[in-house]
Amino acid sequence: MTLEIKNLSFDYPDKNILKDISFRVDEGDFLCILGTNGTGKSTLLKLILNILKIQKGEILIDGVPAKKFRGYGDIAYVSQKATGFNQDFPATVYEVVSAGLYSKRGFMNFPGKSDRAEIEKALERVGMLEFRDKLIGKLSGGQQQRVFIAKAIVSSPKMIFLDEPTVGIDVNAVDSICCLLGDLNRQGYTIIMVTHDLSSVIHHSNKVLILSENEPCRLFATDEFLNQNYSSQYPHHREGC
């Protein structure tokens, strides 16, 4: 699955957010989208996911304009608010992950035996199988984010979007989530992750897109980004998995 953005611009009534953005993501890429607050990182994801309407420019998913694209079942999204849900919601880890199957199963189609196996496989992949019967609100922030990643991968998507998935999570958990995303990328998932904290994710990515308020967006190969002085604006450290 590929993603191509051509001359995309977007304005909110009181602010110009994105101006003439163009870049391309190929199958198997791990793209980090960087930028300070207000540069339009989350807006860009919402435009790609059809949550916001395109004002100017073009978004092509697998060569098809986003508006006409019907394969959203192959795309998963872990939102910024994923861990900002009602912590007292009485749902188990298993129940939350099973919701991720909806895009594949559709309306009034109840999970069967094979779906149960898929849910357990997704939980195993993120190291959360032993927590399957725990209430989601009783887990730590890092564990909750792992569960939301399991919910994203349970439907076997081709592309996963993550909007700042490490916000509010302790450093050790961030490292472990980034390693998990790196593993998933090596298994073939295309990953597009918005972040303003490169921390330990940079070494798992192969492309970096930088959004700035007053400059055009820039797309780097990660090695190129790390070798430039530019990267000093985005502190990062190397961490093993």
Partner 1 sequence: MEIFTYGFIQRAFIVGLFISVMTPMIGNIIVLKRLSSVGDALSHASLAGVAIGLCFSQSPVVAAVLFSCLAALAIEYFRRFFPRYSEISTTLVLSLGVGLAAVFSGFVKNSAGFNSFLFGSIVAISPFETAAVTLLSVMVIIISLLLYRELFYIAFDEEGAALSGVRVKTINFVFTLLTAIVVSVSARTVGALVISSLMVIPVACAMMISKSYKSNIILSVLFAVIFTTAGLVISCFWDIAPGGTIVLIGIAVLIILLPFRRK
For CA atoms 206, 49, 98, 167, give the dihedral sign: positive
**Count of residues touching partner 1 (by CB under 8 A):** 29
| Residue 131 in contact with partner 1, rule: CB under 8 A | no
Of 42, 7, 49, whose CA–CA distance to 24 is shortest? 7
Residue 100 touches partner 1, criterion: CB under 8 A? yes
107 binds partner 1 (CB under 8 A): yes
156 scored as a contact of partner 1 (CB under 8 A): no
**CB of 99 vs partner 1, minimal distance in Å:** 5
The correct pick among 13, 14, 37, 108 for binding partner 1 (CB under 8 A) is 108
- DSSP character string of 154-201: TT--SEEEEESTTTT--HHHHHHHHHHHHHHHHTT-EEEEE-S--BTT
Contact string (CB under 8 A) for partner 1, positions 29-68, x = contact: --------------------x-x-----------------
Please, what is the minimum distance in Å from the beta carbon of residue 42 to partner 1? 12
CA atoms within 13 A on the CB side of 83: 19
Give the C-alpha separation, 44 to 48, whole Å. 6
Residue 95 binding partner 1, by CB under 8 A: yes
> Is residue 89 part of the contact set for partner 1 (CB under 8 A)?
yes
Task: Pick the piece of the chain touching partner 1 (CB under 8 A) from 28-36, 61-69, 99-107, 185-193.
Answer: 99-107
DSSP 3-24: EEEEEEEEEETTEEEEEEEEEE
Task: For Cα atoms 206, 207, 208, give the angle at the middle one, nearest 5 degrees.
Answer: 135
List, in sequence order, the alpha helices (H) in the chain. 41-48, 93-99, 102-105, 113-125, 141-153, 171-186, 222-227
> Shortest distance, CB of residue 164 to partner 1, whole angstroms?
15
Q: Which of 22, 85, 129, 183 binds partner 1 (CB under 8 A)?
A: 85
Binding site for partner 1 (CB under 8 A): 49, 51, 72-73, 77, 79, 81-82, 85-86, 88-92, 94-96, 98-100, 102-103, 106-108, 110, 133, 135
